[in-house]
Structure 1
Amino acid sequence: MSAGVLGSRVRLASLQRLHILQAHLNVLPRGTSRPMSSRDGPEGEVLLQTSGCAGVITLNRPKALNALNLSMIRKIFPQLKKWEEDDQTSIVMIKGVGDKAFCAGGDIRAVADAGKAGGSLIQDFFREEYILNNAIGTLRKPYVALIDGITMGGGVGLSVHGHFRVATERTLFAMPETGIGLFPDVGGGFFLPRLRGKLGLFLALTGFRLKGRDVQQAGLATHFVESQKLAALERDLVQLKCPSQKDVAGVLDAYQAQSCAGREQPFVLEEHMQDVDRLFGGSSVEDVVRRLEAERSPFAEKQLQTLKRMSPTSMKVTFRQLASGASMSLQEVLAMEYRLSQACMRGHDFYEGVRAVLIDKDQQPKWQPASLEQVTDEMVDGYFQSLGSSDLHL
């Protein structure tokens, strides 16, 4: 392949990645079924309903790609706990309105604005989001997330820790946080290192996008069902009588068996998995970069160019986050990630990343420090230090 063609492909991939990252960030800071909340405005941003045996959570901000904000978290969490104790509720389902997104992430713009103004949202949002993530991960009843459309950041936290995650041909999964001076949170330190080989670290550092059936093949979704079958799937689930986890799995298995889209396609990274394991199996981010530089293959060059755009601090923090999280419980990981979130709020790169991608849209963040070599171990240590009485306890 000529250098010109390779360069064109790298630039195209870069533009596509930036568009997805903007979708992840560009959320507006707005605030027989028995609807518990169905009005327009902030009260209608999330709909909480019971239908048959199920408690149903519907994210209702389609214009903002169903982005998660604090008021939504504060509605979902108590209702989830009520359903967990309710004898009439056997399963919980979560879905998003519209055909573009399940949930494109958290309301990062509002968090950045609060951080600049010294507002408490920078503590409250992350603390309460992680508490909700833990509640999903420890729920005693089957939890089914219909991740139809964009599923990133906060949307991953609302789905990946549950028992069942149903991807469709429209699902687009990514954790692009290193591109805005953050890290793959919402329990990323727990589920990413538990994917096969070095796939989790690869996804975390590069923000690589997985689509459709690839989300299941990566181990992030448990099932694949064509989007046109979701309405029927939902009806069959809510009509179950006191279903067990096995009963729910049986229904999902049956719908998956009827879904042929992409069945014969290999995993998008299958031919590169040995490369991923070898190249991202380094002892540090610098080691990963050195391996990519020495490889001189189109695949390695593409990943190298991607990493060069990311925040050096975020990459080093993420590398340690996943290395530590591999042997931690979900609760320990979320407590660690709360410390990391607050360190990011005190730092420079998060605000600079939001500026470059969302506000000025020049796509030219000026990271501080600007290179991996300038990010010392002591700097990274500071991100993991205890917050004392402000630590998150689960």
Structure 2
Amino acid sequence: MSDVSDSHGGEPELIVEVRGSLGLLTLNRPRALNALTHGMVVMMRAALDEWAGRDDVLAVAVVGAGERGLCAGGDIVSLHADARAGGGAAAAAFWSDEYRLNAAIACYPKPYIALMDGIVLGGGVGISAHGSHRVVTERSRIGMPETGIGFVPDVGGTWLLSHAPGELGTHLALTGTMIGADDAIAVGLADVRVPSRSLAELVAALELLDPAVEGDPAAAVDATIAEFAEPAGAAPLLQERAWTDEAYASDDAGVIMGRMRASGNEAANAAADALAARSPSAIAVTLAALRRSARAGSLEEALALEFRAALRALAAPDFAEGVRAQVIDKDRSPRWSPPTLSEVDPAAVEAAFAPLDEAERVRFGTGEWEAS
């Protein structure tokens, strides 16, 4: 067993174990809802690389310590502090390694089982929804809430949501709406539902897979999970497609909001209210990122676009203001700049995806993102 130490409390941030035939990653920052640090990301990637070459490890699973959830995302307080004091180089390094981890999970050569119990937000989606076996429970609450802090969905979130049915992914990305297990399965963020009370038994069963007899580890994992699975219920979000597909069928966020207000639909009006409370700049850039990711040829291409957009968001005023309002001061009253969608400069949206210039390379200590 190995770990990454938490400098704040002396407890391991990440526990890395091999139990029988299972490589087990336990995110171990329960008081921070298992938010990811750079050290955790680096250790996760190292463990995956090692286990990929071990014949005795048939599958990998990731779980979260505590009762609240798998992972609340990246440690945005640290990212905020770096943006204000350090210029963003540490954040850029974190995202570079985090996105490489996301890409590695998506093409991992062995079954990668994510137990998406409880809260799974932002970066938590990145270490789970790209896996081969994504398990949700009746307690799952999954979302990409980045526009509420002046940021954009990243970790491959624009790739995942741009491939959801109709415009449901656009709705989730722009409003930051959190969804439950059945909706997560319906939009392609999860595969199977297992009762939370059965998760410990599921992990124990996965540990008992026998390398000597399992010719197809993926099929063995499928069969093991199926023993504990329960039928998925109706997905409430699918009932919203009539208005979401119509309202969000535009590349202009102002047009989208106008359609919502004019629809006379209560859910559409509530979505417009949600958009009105979020960063106008983040909404405009997120919509553009979704459209680009829908046309991208791979997850890696989408991640490269997200990396550019993330660095530009870090340098813009709304991220610092959003984190202040939602996480630090918690007054829930961000002062966005600009304050309305109509004032967002289309040229600034396009610039979010432009190649990094020399000044940015110096500031962030990085070049363009590439998977490795």
TM-score by length of 2: 0.92
**1:303 matched to which residue of 2?**
271
Q: Which runs of 5 or more structure 2 residues have no equivalent in the other structure?
A: 362-366
Q: Would the alpha carbon gap of residues 110 and 38 (structure 1) be closer, same or farther in structure 2, given more than 3 Å must change? A: closer
After superposition, where does 1:183-332 map in structure 2 within 5 Å? 183-242=152-211, 243=214, 244-256=217-229, 259=230, 263=232, 265-328=233-296, 329-332=298-301
Q: Is 2:348 the counterpart of 1:375?
A: no
What is the RMSD of the two structures over their aligned residues, measured on CA atoms? 1.6
**2:2 matched to which residue of 1?**
36
**1:93 matched to which residue of 2?**
61
Q: Is 2:350 the counterpart of 1:350?
A: no
CA distance in 2, matches of 1:52, 1:250: 18
Q: What amino acid does structure 2 have at the position aligned with 1:223?
A: V
Candidates 103, 106, 124, aligned match of 2:74 = 106
Asked if structure 2 preserves the Cα contact closer than 8 Å seen for 1:182 and 1:350, the reply is yes
**2:364 matched to which residue of 1?**
none
Asked if structure 1 preserves the Cα contact closer than 8 Å seen for 2:146 and 2:176, the reply is yes
Q: What amino acid does structure 1 have at the position aligned with 2:126?
A: G
Higher mean C-alpha deviation, range 285-294 or range 42-51? 42-51
**2:102 matched to which residue of 1?**
133
CA distance in 1, matches of 2:286, 2:146: 10
Candidates 360, 366, 369, aligned match of 1:392 = 369
Superposed displacement of residue 43, structure 1: 6.2
CA distance in 2, matches of 1:122, 1:42: 23
Superposed displacement of residue 42, structure 1: 5.4
Q: What amino acid does structure 2 have at the position aligned with 1:250?
A: A
Q: What amino acid does structure 2 have at the position aligned with 1:254?
A: E
Asked if structure 2 preserves the Cα contact closer than 8 Å seen for 1:37 and 1:43, the reply is no
CA distance in 2, matches of 1:346, 1:283: 24
**2:121 matched to which residue of 1?**
152
Q: Would the alpha carbon gap of residues 42 and 192 (structure 1) be closer, same or farther in structure 2, given more than 3 Å must change? A: farther
Q: Is 2:145 the counterpart of 1:172?
A: no
**2:41 matched to which residue of 1?**
73
CA distance in 1, matches of 2:4, 2:333: 41
TM-score by length of 1: 0.87
Q: Is 2:22 the counterpart of 1:59?
A: no
Q: Is 2:86 the counterpart of 1:118?
A: yes
Asked if structure 1 preserves the Cα contact closer than 8 Å seen for 2:148 and 2:277, the reply is yes
Q: What amino acid does structure 2 have at the position aligned with 1:374?
A: E
Higher mean C-alpha deviation, range 110-119 or range 213-222? 213-222
Higher mean C-alpha deviation, range 144-153 or range 213-222? 213-222
Higher mean C-alpha deviation, range 115-124 or range 43-52? 115-124
CA distance in 2, matches of 1:283, 1:393: 27
Q: What amino acid does structure 2 have at the position aligned with 1:380?
A: V
| Residues 162-190 of structure 1: CA deviation (Å, up to 9, x unaligned) | 10110011111011100100011100121
Superposed displacement of residue 38, structure 1: 8.4
SS of corresponding position for 1:210: coil
Asked if structure 1 preserves the Cα contact closer than 8 Å seen for 2:317 and 2:337, the reply is yes
Identity over aligned pairs, percent: 37
Higher mean C-alpha deviation, range 156-165 or range 70-79? 70-79
**2:302 matched to which residue of 1?**
333
**2:150 matched to which residue of 1?**
181
Q: What amino acid does structure 2 have at the position aligned with 1:185?
A: D
Q: What amino acid does structure 2 have at the position aligned with 1:152?
A: L
Q: Which runs of 5 or more structure 1 residues have no equivalent in the other structure?
A: 1-34
CA distance in 1, matches of 2:284, 2:4: 43
Superposed displacement of residue 39, structure 1: 7.0
CA distance in 2, matches of 1:42, 1:71: 14
Higher mean C-alpha deviation, range 35-44 or range 199-208? 35-44
Asked if structure 1 preserves the Cα contact closer than 8 Å seen for 2:4 and 2:40, the reply is no
Superposed displacement of residue 392, structure 1: 0.7
Superposed displacement of residue 52, structure 1: 1.1
Q: Is 2:325 the counterpart of 1:364?
A: no
SS of corresponding position for 1:299: helix
Q: What amino acid does structure 1 have at the position aligned with 2:171?
A: F
CA distance in 1, matches of 2:182, 2:225: 15
CA distance in 2, matches of 1:76, 1:42: 19
Q: What amino acid does structure 2 have at the position aligned with 1:166?
A: V
Asked if structure 2 preserves the Cα contact closer than 8 Å seen for 1:178 and 1:184, the reply is yes
Q: Would the alpha carbon gap of residues 271 and 342 (structure 1) be closer, same or farther in structure 2, given more than 3 Å must change? A: same
CA distance in 2, matches of 1:219, 1:207: 16
SS of corresponding position for 1:363: coil
| Residues 220-245 of structure 1: CA deviation (Å, up to 9, x unaligned) | 11110001111111111121123421
Q: Is 2:21 the counterpart of 1:48?
A: no
Q: Would the alpha carbon gap of residues 42 and 160 (structure 1) be closer, same or farther in structure 2, given more than 3 Å must change? A: farther
Asked if structure 1 preserves the Cα contact closer than 8 Å seen for 2:150 and 2:318, the reply is yes
Q: What amino acid does structure 2 have at the position aligned with 1:245?
A: A
